[in-house]
Amino acid sequence: MVYSTPALPSFPLYADTFYEGLEESIKRTQSELKEGQQLILCYYDQAGRLIFVEDIGYYNPFLIILFGKDAEGNKCNVFLHMAAMQLVAKIVSGTEKNKPRPLGFLGEVKT
């Protein structure tokens, strides 16, 4: 007998649905920004180190992937179960110190 893995249906508890809701919420917040403001997404790891999120992706069924840079500018990726993910969204004024950080939504990340 041959078994095959069926395609995963879109289900409210899968990463794609979580990701879509997150993307919608972030884009809504971005659309409400005033002139000179920008939205910065931050993630703090378990040791309290700051990571500036630049891109977000997912891998079904439960993995959310954050792509960004740490406070020293080193590239880093964070792999999280969607139930454990917490982001801080900060609205800051766009000054030289707070240079605009692009934010991308990569969708499903293929391996």
Q: Which amino acid is at 52?
A: F
Whole-angstrom distance, CA of residue 102 vs CA of residue 15: 22
Q: Which residues of the chain have pLDDT under 70?
A: 1-12, 95-102, 111
> Long-range contacts: 32-35, Cβ < 8 Å, 24+?
33/91
pLDDT at 12: 65
- Tokens at 80, concatenated: 């999280």
Please tell me the predicted confidence (pLDDT) of residue 13.
Answer: 79
The residue extents of the domains of the chain are 15-108
Q: Is the pTM of this model over 0.85?
A: no
